Structure 1
Amino acid sequence: MLQALLLLFFVIVMGLEWHVGRTHERQVYRVPDATSNLLLGMAQLAPAVVLFGFLQVTYEFIYQRSAAFEIMESSPIGWIGLLIGVDFCYYWFHRFSHRVHVAWASHALHHQGEDYNLALGIRQHPTQGFFERAFYLPLAFIGFPPRMASIAVTINAAYQLFLHTELVGKLGPLEWVLNTPSHHRVHHGINPRYLDKNFGGMLIIWDRMFGTFVEEHEQPVYGTVEQVASFDPIYCMWAPLDDAIERASRTSDSLHELGVWIMPPGWRPKSMAKADTQISLDRPKYDVKLSREATLYLMAMTGLTILLMICHLLNNDLNSRPVRMQLGFIAWVAVTLVALGGIIEGRAWAKPVEALRLVATPFVVMTLV
């Protein structure tokens, strides 16, 4: 229920961000960009019930057999310690995601967005949670109960969603301890001095302690160093992995091939030409022109997808649905990404695929009501 309510609240706050931006004559959102972000967010949430169940079982197994301490859910000190522990684990997961190519192939999706707004916060790869949740397993050894840990992880993730905005400036003394929109804007910047900085989740103290902190001075330019010129969610998910596969295939040395996956994203073996590291800070944002009809249609279908996602999350919280029904919903979300992504990019095949999706939608609705 917590995830469903958070998603609903998030959409409401997005509307507020859009309204405030419009009041100040700032274009906070572009429909193609926001649609791509939100659809990718749904792609992450759809399989979460099934995929995260495996890691939850692993966490419970460790907790029941190896917990060093008995920490009660009623303990305020336990909760404070857990929230700090979750954030510490998140810092190292986040740093790992930027410095190990196989993890970056998943995390890069979140950095592709060139508009910095709340919708970017929900733009996550479906597999990223697998990497992230594994980093929280040490908390089970300490003795934090599974339900308690799950709530703390959700709180940490929820806090970070609201860091993705340009409408909040610096927050004075809070900047010394908390991760803030200003600090996180730095993290998303491709400005050379901003690259691979400010990995914290709720707290910025880890970055200050471990030498990865940079304060926001110049205006960040958002996106990835190698621009992904597409709003198609499927292409955006595949592009970073395809880059790694292509790079690994160009070396005949098995050790170098392994290195492509475990070294930082920019690493290349000596036998391979070095990449052009010149970063253009004045490059134009990728954009597409949509008709008014296409814009309204994308907004309506994205809104419907979010509504059905909220119902999906609520149903699973109240009464876990059969796996076949969950897989059916995941498949419908996947087709939604294909069809609406194709419409954004003007693909000829998109309308027939969307027609088939619309035929299937009433059946999906019936499984959720």
Structure 2
Amino acid sequence: MSEYKLMATAAMGLESIVASEIKDLGYECQTENGKVYFQGNEETIARANMWLRVGDRVRIIVGEFKAYTFDELFERTKALPWEEFLPADAAFPVAGKSVKSKLFSVPDCQAIVKKAIVERLKTAYNRTGFLEESGPLFKLEVSILKDKVTLTINSSGQGLHKRGYRLGQGDAPLKETMAAALVKLSRWSPNRPFVDPFCGSGTIAIEAAMIGQNLAPGYNRSFLSEEWPWMNAQVWDRVREEVEDVAKYDLELDIRGYDVDYNIISIAQRNALEAGFTDIISFEQQDVRDLKIEGHNGVLIANPPYGERLGEVEEAEEIAGVLGKIMEQHPSWSVYILSSLENYEEMYGKRATKKRKLFNGFIRTDLYQFWGQRS
């Protein structure tokens, strides 16, 4: 098998979790802002796509170089061995972005990279005229940061947060990758009770169930690189066999999700059914004011309303106070709250053991961590 330089992209603040996941798969890695670099073969590509819970996409790095002119961009792109990745009939749209670089026109950069690859492939495959691009799809990207060009191929296709189980969602859905990150950061283990009192469409609870039963997040979806001729189907068969071999389908879990909205609870139940967790997760309509906590040493994770709209801040603050009073009676439980309220600790009534800055989409939030006293 060939060896590739790979890059897993990640939301800001989650790079260390993605790096930990890659190390758990057995690969060494290095991190930068929003990126985790590692190396591997075709099986590495398949396993990373199948198992990364927090990463956004797995990209193959074809080339990296400095370019200050369009001529440099063209010639250095053309010099790369594109025929090792793209068959003669490959369809290869080129996306692009440029930040703090002399080559700031993204459409021009995209067009030049496309032209350079076409010229390379025509020479490699002894073709004249136009390339038909009627074959398998390869999504390319030219990214330029401070004049450094990175040319990549997206091996995932849709973002890795697209697990395949979410049939419906609420008004402000939490990405599956972020939900998984919250569970990972809580260090919850399957022998502990788990509660989400603002469960919405059930994403956090479902991600916890997947982690608890060691079920690969990509088990219920396909990936763009499965269509590529040089990605042997046997590789994907082996990776999916591994998923089945290590899954703990019979492991009992105590996971509960509550929400005040009956309609959203129905959506959560349908999503859990699609994910295969209908008998594992309990979803019920319930106001947080009526929350009853059972058991010891549990974990509560919540993404409550932020009060982003006018007039809703007071309600969000009130809810924080209600939850704080309830959890005060359960000191063995650890509580993890994702909120954009800067005064959340004051409203909750307790100083967080730790805070971690995270971005929920474009909203700057903090993960307030109130660690329990294990009993």
TM-score normalized by the length of structure 1? 0.25
Q: Looking at secondary structure, tell me which structure has more helix per residue.
A: 1
Between structure 1 and structure 2, the one with the greater Rg is 2
Q: Looking at secondary structure, tell me which structure has more strand per residue.
A: 2
